[in-house]
Amino acid sequence: MKLGVFVSDYKIPVDTLDRLKTDGLGIVLVLNGVYHAVIKEGGKESALLGKSPKIYALSEDLLTRGLSPEQVDKRVKVVDYNGLVDVIFNDFEKVAWL
CATH label of the domain that carries residue 43: 3.40.1260.10
**Looking at the chain, how many residues does it have?**
98
Confidence of residue 80 (pLDDT cuts 50, 70, 90): very high
Q: Are 34 and 58 in contact (CB under 8 A)?
A: yes
Q: Are 83 and 57 in contact (CB under 8 A)?
A: no
Q: Is the pLDDT of residue 37 over 80?
A: yes
Confidence of residue 39 (pLDDT cuts 50, 70, 90): confident
25/92 Cα distance (integer angstroms): 8
Confidence of residue 19 (pLDDT cuts 50, 70, 90): confident
Number of domains within the chain:
1
Amino acid (one-letter) located at 28: V
Amino acid (one-letter) located at 78: V
Q: Residues 80, 10, 49, CA angle at the centre, nearest 5°?
A: 70
- Enclosing domain of residue 33: 2-97
Q: Are 38 and 72 in contact (CB under 8 A)?
A: yes
Q: Is the pLDDT of residue 51 over 90?
A: no
Q: Is the pLDDT of residue 38 over 90?
A: yes
Confidence of residue 18 (pLDDT cuts 50, 70, 90): confident
Query: Mean per-residue pLDDT for 74-94?
Result: 94
